[in-house]
Structure 1
Amino acid sequence: MLPGARTQGCGTRIVNWLAAEAARRGATELFLLTTTAAGFFEKRGFRPVDRNQAPVAIASTAQFTSLCPASAVLMRRAGFAALTYDAGCSVVC
């Protein structure tokens, strides 16, 4: 996120839109890797997960195996299936 867009809710709107889209497509959980934003994502329902517990579909990605450092925190968010998103709200910040 660009520094000028921080604290304006842009990141939260993007996360909520992605979660709503994932739910619409049938996903029941989301995973991410982060080296700097664990606190941001925890406030939005993600919880740290031991990297050894990553599903094969996540553990086999290039991000997991080589692009993100081993120090990157794996995070998971579940229980968002009922989430809706206001399509009138722009996520472009």
Structure 2
Amino acid sequence: MEMTLRKATENEYRAIIHLLASNALPTADIYEKNITLFVGLIDNEIVATIGVEQYGNEALLRSLCVKEGFKNQKLGAKMLSYLLSFCANENIKTLYLLSTTAEHYFVRYGFTKITRDETPKSIQNTREFKDICPASAIIMKLEL
């Protein structure tokens, strides 16, 4: 089964919110103007999502998520690869993420753990960093 990847349309946000919420991922700020969401579709069904919150040449990876029943098929890797290509086209130099559960997953793709103090102000000022993710979340970065 082939997955189609593309930028999400606004009328898909409810389905994305449902997918994120069903995986205990944050949804409070996904309508913010500097967040771009992408979907992975199989037979016109959203089975995966990923997003990026951009601040100049720095960005925050937002909620890589694959629907139950579609996990362990390398769809997450395809979504991440798609996002990294988008970031390269947008001249994003460094991609950051916060995670409470997926540190080992992202290490496989070259992300390295950093401290809260090493995180740039643009990322520290996001709602995800300040309010949504717990202070115990792991912060990681990838130089592109």
Off by >6 Å, runs of 4+ in structure 1: none
Identity of aligned residues (%): 32
Relative to the length of structure 1, the TM-score reads 0.80
By how many angstroms is 1:51 displaced? 1.0
Relative contact order, CA 8 A, sep 6+: which one is greater?
1
Pair 1:54-2:119 in alignment: yes
Q: Deviations over 1:46-78 (max 9, x none)?
A: 111111111011000000001000011011011
Pair 1:19-2:98 in alignment: no
CA distance in 2, matches of 1:3, 1:40: 17
**Where is the strand percentage greater, Structure 1 or Structure 2?**
2
Cα RMSD between the aligned structures? 0.9
Relative to the length of structure 2, the TM-score reads 0.53
> Residue 5 of structure 1 aligns to which amino acid in structure 2?
F
CA distance in 1, matches of 2:136, 2:70: 27
CA distance in 1, matches of 2:91, 2:135: 29
**Where is the helix percentage greater, Structure 1 or Structure 2?**
1
Gaps of 5+ in 1: 81-93
Aligned length: 79
